[in-house]
A and B are shown apart, each in its own frame.
Chain A
Amino acid sequence: MSRNDLDARARAELLRIAEAWYDQMHGGEVPSIALPTRTKQNIEYDDESEVWKYGEKESLRSAHTAKSALHLLKMAWVIGFLKQQLAENRSSTLRELYYISEGWKRAKFGAQEESNLLIEDLEILTALQREAFHLRPEEDGATIFGPLRIREATRRGPREIHCRDDVGEAGYAIPNTVEGLEFLEHDASMVVAVETGGMYARLQENGFDEEHRAILVHLKGQPARSTRRVLHMLSDRFDLPVTVFTDGDPWSYRIFASVAYGSIKAAHMSELLATPRAQFIGVQPTDIADYQLPSDKLTDRDVQALKAELTDPRFDTDYWRLQIRRQLELGLKTEQQAFAARGLDFVTREYLPARLTEMGVL
């Protein structure tokens, strides 16, 4: 679809929401919208795409209550703003949108989280991505390092970049929209996505990428959409195995889940964002005992998070039930960098080769 066509479609889809409200009000009906319920109770596994998507449950937001009326009002203001932005061919970041709402009186957003959620609502209602509305997220600083050549459409024209030879040690920074990104060629046997910067640097320093022909992706915590898109595209385009290496706590398992299965918040885009074939390396709760890793006690919040994961359909597999139960029994958690207790080379010499072999990647 050409850029102009996409703009026209975005405009039409957005206006359709406002027109529906107009017709409701004109006919003496209280305006409302129906949206899928965005909770873990309402995500379902889609066999065809192998990702988790929203189910049938819908919640109706009707202006009968002040809270919902205000939500509709804010959405109307956002639609008005996006319509203008599309007309003027401008773009803005999610954060800018939040600040722009300062002048919207009652419709002003209380926090950026609120405006982000509302944009996701619009994505669901229009079946378009926010990029179609000329909205982009902040750069989040996630990076790639390894034997991969890409072409990026920058404002100063296309640039071809090798993600190891043409970049510094920090790696190639993933742009906030990956629409203009092309993967040209690679000399890799696998992709390793790493949660923390410390481990990302350790693997580089120990030459893990060269020795095992690995493309390293630094997730920087819970990965941004663009980072998940890159993993999805690497898996899709080059058919490379994608592995995820995180800390050994409940929050890190959620990082893996959002990479592999799709997140609950953006389940409407799981097909684009999730990498169903991604595999979890660790740190696994069983590793804590097997490698006698230094560990911390689980906090009450950790325990709650683990228990919540036991009722999360995405973790409803034998593997995860076993790991989560084991962790609750142990009452311990650990970090990826805890391997340093066994020496700086231990993770690249012993743990990863053993674990990747076990997983069938090596």
Chain B
Amino acid sequence: MITTVKEAVDNALDACEEAEVLPDIEIAVRRTGPETVRIAVEDNGPGIMPEHVPFVFGKLLYGSRFHQIRQSRGQQGIGISAAVLYAQLTTGLPTVVTTRTGAREPAHRFELRIRVETNEPEVLSHEEVEWDRIHGTRVEIEFRASLAAKKRLVEYLRSTGVVNPHARLRAEIDGEEFVSERVVDEVLVPPKAIKPHPLGIELGQLARLVEGAKGPLAPFLVDRFVRVGAKTADEICAAAGLASTARVESLSGDDLSRLLGALQSVRVPPPPTTQCLSPIGQDLLVRGLSAEYRMDFVVARTRPSAVYGGHPFMVEAAIGYGGNLPVEGSAHLMRFANRVPLVYQQGACAVTRCVAEVNWKAYGLSQAGLPQGPLLILVHVASTNVPFTSESKDAIAAIPEIEREITLALRDLGRDLKTFISRRDRTRQAEERARAVCAILPELAAKVAEVTERPVPDISPIEGQIMRKVVAKKWTLGGRVGIEVQNHTGRELALQVYEQSGDPAGDAEPVPDFATELDGVVTRVWQVSLPPGGAWRAEYTGSGSGTIDLRGVDEHRKVVVDLDV
């Protein structure tokens, strides 16, 4: 199920990118029978020309971009037509495609199947229909599956949202809604294709290049390969034992394999990397993650582009810490290749190994293989040719150049995280110390007043001296509950005093700006604006069983003390 959704969503994102529109993708997953599921994926992409539709969906391994050398999602996965085939084999039902290429064009609706024997599309029906979309494509596929992988599917969509901050994803999965909002309104500029690099070429590719080409060999090499000049071309020819002037059209199979050897032995500068790769960028990674997860700290790194075996690549990584991330267990690892989440085979992936081999203890984390704690680690490998361990394309292969970049990025992030953790610990300690003093001083004042038989002194100036913070206090005395907030910072503050308590507090003075009751617990909110050195106080009749908190103030700038505890 995930594979099918993944194919459809990847295609949709790629289509939108190519047309330079902000992707708006809707996904519906619905149970249609005890063992069958119907999915529908709809995008606002450019649509597909009606004459291409049968081939895109009804012919296996059909792809217009298959041989382009640039970062693209289409490298991953099995192709949407395989999903069409799976559907017809398990349910016998055709796939329904609706597409429209523009306001002046009608929408076309197809019912498609694949002729298994010939790998040719079979159009069961084709009609023009009304559609409220101006352009876009909708695919509906029904196949045999269970909804067991529902959680994983949500995780996949969420991951997709993180690395595609320019996209809006809306999904309804078996009645449950999931939304990943758009974080940035900039259209993604699609990476440009580059010519192949001598180091990264295979025999089949070479054969295709040579096919139909004419003329002398050396200019051919200069023309068809990146980073090959006249001098390098001559060197390659010499290494292959061929004349620079040898006619390309007359090369034998034997010549070709010698040429391939020569291409890969002659030293050629690495290919250019910038235009053909599309990194997400540090800023957008941080924003994308922050939109999907609540964390106390998040930082990202985009490494400079590099090359392995003639293929440009680039590593990006991000670390999130704290917040709502689960405290127990291993870090949540998110792996991406060319902006596509890798869902399966985490254990076999080079990314996983790199993460496990970093010494996280040096950065203040515990580690058992993977680092432990409220931690999220994201690694994105972008390349014109992401090396996978197998055809299923779920795990990145262990290429030393790539592993090195991943490790460097992770260590860099680890150092940032360490700085954050130690600063947070220091702040926390300081706060705890202040909190402790803040709780003791009133008792000391009361006791000293009792012993000396004098009225209890007002110690708020002392508290301010110690705290330099916003201090919120709650106390109960003789059936009256008091709440006091003092601003000891040097800044004007607008904040909310937030209280939850079993007391109805009808006589609260001042009257709360907001109050609501649920199961006997009243939530009250006061909007308070405090100048530096200012104080605010509320009182009501009650038992003081509740808790108070301040909103609108930095955690490390506030101290909340319950004097009843």
Contact = CB atoms under 8 A, between A and B. Distances in A.
Contact of B437 (A25, A64, A77, A79): A64
B457 A25 contact: yes
B452 A22 contact: yes
Interface stretch (A67-75, A123-131, A151-159): A67-75
A106 B440 contact: yes
A30 B437 CA distance: 11
A303 interface: no
B461 interface: yes
B437 A21 contact: no
Nearest to B460: A28
B436 A69 contact: yes
Contacts of A31: 444, 448, 462
A173 interface: no
A105 to B, nearest CB: 8
Contacts of A22: 448-449, 452, 454, 457
B462 A28 contact: yes
Given A18-B452, A28-B462, A76-B451, A66 B440 contact: yes
A21 B456 CA distance: 12
Contact of A15 (B443, B444, B451, B466): B451
B564 to A, nearest CB: 12
B110 to A, nearest CB: 74
B451 to A, nearest CB: 4
B444 A72 contact: yes
A107 B451 CA distance: 15
A102 B441 CA distance: 20
Contacts of B433: 65-66
Interface magnitude class on chain B: 20 to 34
Nearest to B462: A30
Q: Is the contact region of chain A dominated by helix, strand, or loop, or is it mixed?
A: helix
B209 interface: no
Interface in B419-464: 433, 436-437, 439-441, 443-445, 447-452, 454, 457, 459, 461-462
Contacts of A72: 444
B465 interface: yes
A216 B196 CA distance: 105
Interface string A106-118: 1100000000000
A96 interface: no
A80 B443 CA distance: 13
Interface in B48-87: none
B565 to A, nearest CB: 11
A83 B452 CA distance: 10
Interface in A18-46: 18-19, 21-22, 25-26, 28-31
Contacts of A80: 447, 450-451
Nearest to A29: B462
A83 B450 CA distance: 11
Nearest to B440: A69
B451 A63 contact: no
B466 A30 contact: yes
Contact of B447 (A30, A65, A66, A77): A77
Contacts of A107: 443, 447
Contacts, number: 70
Contact of B452 (A15, A66, A77): A15
A72 B443 CA distance: 10
B440 A73 contact: yes
A74 to B, nearest CB: 10
Nearest to A14: B451
B464 to A, nearest CB: 9
B452 A25 contact: no
A15 B457 CA distance: 16
A21 B444 contact: yes
A20 to B, nearest CB: 9
Contacts of B441: 63, 69
Contacts of B454: 22
A106 B443 contact: yes
Interface in B490-530: none
Contacts of A26: 457
Contacts of A63: 437, 440-441, 444, 462
B457 A70 contact: no
B459 A25 contact: yes
A28 B452 contact: no
B465 A30 contact: yes
Most buried by A among B436, B443, B461: B443
A350 B454 CA distance: 69
Contacts of B459: 25
Contact of A73 (B443, B449, B452, B457): B443
Contacts of B451: 15, 18, 76, 79-80, 83
Contacts of A106: 439-440, 443
B448 A21 contact: yes
Contact of B461 (A28, A73, A77, A79): A28
Most buried by A among B440, B441, B451: B451
A277 B6 CA distance: 95
B440 A70 contact: yes
B462 A25 contact: yes
Nearest to B450: A80
B436 A66 contact: yes
A81 to B, nearest CB: 9
A125 B437 CA distance: 24
Contacts of A25: 444-445, 448, 457, 459, 462
A69 B462 CA distance: 12
Nearest to B464: A28
A122 B450 CA distance: 19
A66 B431 CA distance: 11
Contacts of A70: 436, 440
9 contacts: A22-B449, A25-B444, A28-B461, A31-B462, A63-B440, A63-B444, A69-B436, A73-B440, A107-B447
Interface of B: 433, 436-437, 439-441, 443-445, 447-452, 454, 457, 459, 461-462, 465-466
Interface of A: 15, 18-19, 21-22, 25-26, 28-31, 63-66, 69-70, 72-73, 76-77, 79-80, 83, 106-107
Given A66-B440, A106-B439, A107-B447, 14 more contacts: A18-B448, A21-B448, A25-B444, A30-B466, A31-B462, A63-B437, A63-B444, A66-B437, A69-B436, A73-B440, A73-B444, A76-B444, A80-B447, A83-B451
Report the 10 A-B pairs with minimum CB-CB distance, sorted nearest first.
Answer: A66-B436, A28-B461, A76-B447, A69-B440, A25-B457, A18-B451, A26-B457, A80-B451, A73-B444, A21-B448
